[in-house]
Amino acid sequence: MSVCLVCETRIEPFLSFGKMPIANGFLLPEQFRDEYFFELKVAFCPNCRMVQLAELVDRERMFHENYAFYSSTSVRMSEHFRRFADWVRTNYLTESDPFVVEIGSNDGIMMQNFARADIRHLGIEPSSNVAQVARDKGIRTVSRFFDEDLAKSIVAEDGRADAFLGANVMCHIPYIHSVFAGVKTLLKPRGILAFEDPYLGDIVEKTSYDQIYDEHALYFSAASVSYLADRHGLELIDVLPQPVHGGSMRYVLSHSGAYPISDAVRALRAKEEQLGLAKSETYDRLRTSVERSRDDLRALLLTLKGDGKRVVGYGATSKSTTVTNYCGITPDLVEFISDTTPIKQGKFSPGVHIPVRPYPEFVSRYPDFALLFAWNHADEILAKEQAFQQAGGKFIGYVPKVGLCG
């Protein structure tokens, strides 16, 4: 039993993954002994509709000077954020001398588009290593966790904002009321909040349970975002589905009454009712699908091992920490994980300790199978890995079902 982060109703987990390590906590052998674990469990609140973690990890354990996720490792995501920034400029930066704020700005993947266009901007990024990469690109960045107090000091120094943006960060913030209160303070009368995160509807439809890990405290839907907005004098005015990260939703909010509410909001609310996102039974069914997915993946990997096949992981994603630990995927089943991020290479994956090796090691000796941990980048990866497939290599996926892909 725990208490809802949004409305304080008492809630019960519908799914427990057992002990989990920090999803981005890639580590060296001398750190194995002190590795931190917590209980990963998710709950649904029938009152405000928020799906959420029932036990939280302190933010300083996850976001710090050695944060392992550098946004700009994906070319497709750079393009995505260029389009996101263009959409903001065209639709919402219509007043003179506009000001844009982004939280979780990471290495500047989105903000670089505003900086290059000489638009007044501020990135807020607590993980100081990635924040420095952004500064080196000429992006104004403060290394702090965003909250209501920081919002007030930004207003005092820079004035109010035309657009407040966040991608894959709102869902990281359990003290979400402070963020929404900060947004309310920070926005100009016609200012907007636009944020995108993995969408609960996609998680339920695709059984993409690997979206569930320590950093993702909240799993948004139009219903839960509307509830939150309402509590802060804000309003959900538009929703735009995004194909990134395995199915995301962009939510657009403004001060209540500042803009008309689009038909897309009404349509999505209706679709969520149809999908059963308001019903506990839906989450019980999700648990059953997750357990089946785990059993299928484990059975496949054991068969391949029995057949003497070499299996290598592709992409040491944060999501893969849930999959490897929950399914018991140890180095005897997956030889190593190939990843292009220098800070992860030479280290071991959290919990199950599979070695993470640089990409050239994948190419120099192709395995029989590549377990596609970075399935959310499947288009980009399958296009790039023609030679592997022509050499007889096969990709294994597990979303929405365990099987070969490509």
Interacting residues toward ligand TMP by CB under 6 A = 69, 73-74, 315-318, 339-341, 344, 359, 374, 376-377, 380-381
* Nearest distance from C-beta of residue 102 to ligand SAH, angstroms: 7
Which run of H or E residues covers position 188?
strand 187-198
Is 341 one of the binding residues for ligand SAH (CB under 6 A)? no
Q: Which of residues 7-26 bind Zn ion (CB under 5 A)?
A: 7, 9
Contact region with ligand SAH (CB under 6 A), list: 35-43, 61-69, 262-270, 291-299: 61-69
Contact region with ligand SAH (CB under 6 A), list: 169-177, 330-338, 362-370, 383-391: 169-177
Is 124 one of the binding residues for ligand SAH (CB under 6 A)? yes
The dihedrals phi and psi of 210, each to the nearest 5 degrees, come to: -75, -5
Q: List the structure tokens of 351.
A: 């919990």
Tell me how crowded residue 30 is: count the other CB atoms within 10 A of its CB: 7
3-state class (DSSP) for residue 237? strand
Q: Which partner, ligand SAH, Zn ion, ligand TMP, none, binds residue 341 by CB below 5 to 8 Å per kind?
A: ligand TMP
Out of 13, 21, 25, 104, point to the residue binding ligand SAH (CB under 6 A). 104
Q: Which partner, Zn ion, ligand SAH, ligand TMP, none, binds residue 172 by CB below 5 to 8 Å per kind?
A: ligand SAH
Do strands 161-167 and 187-198 pair parallel, antiparallel, or not at all (unpaired)? parallel
First to last CA, the chain: 42
E-strand ranges in 231-273 read 234-242, 248-255
Contact region with ligand SAH (CB under 6 A), list: 121-129, 298-306, 309-317, 347-355: 121-129
Buried b (16+ CB within 10 A) or exposed e, 197-214: bbbbbbbbebbbbbbbbb
Is 167 one of the binding residues for ligand SAH (CB under 6 A)? yes
Q: Are 362 and 387 in contact (CB under 8 A)?
A: no
* Nearest distance from C-beta of residue 246 to ligand TMP, angstroms: 8
* CA pair distance 107, 49, nearest whole angstrom: 33
Q: List the structure tokens of 134.
A: 């952004």
* CA pair distance 369, 374, nearest whole angstrom: 14
* CA pair distance 200, 181, nearest whole angstrom: 23
Size, binding site for ligand SAH by CB under 6 A: 20
Contact region with ligand SAH (CB under 6 A), list: 100-108, 341-349, 376-384, 385-393: 100-108
Out of 10, 12, 47, 267, point to the residue binding Zn ion (CB under 5 A). 47
Is 127 one of the binding residues for ligand SAH (CB under 6 A)? yes
Q: List the structure tokens of 32.
A: 């194995």
Q: List the structure tokens of 383.
A: 């296009």
Is 69 one of the binding residues for ligand SAH (CB under 6 A)? yes
By CB under 5 A, name the binding residues for Zn ion: 4, 6-7, 9, 45, 47-48
By CB under 6 A, name the binding residues for ligand SAH: 63, 67, 69, 71, 103-104, 106, 109, 124-127, 130, 145-146, 167-169, 172-173
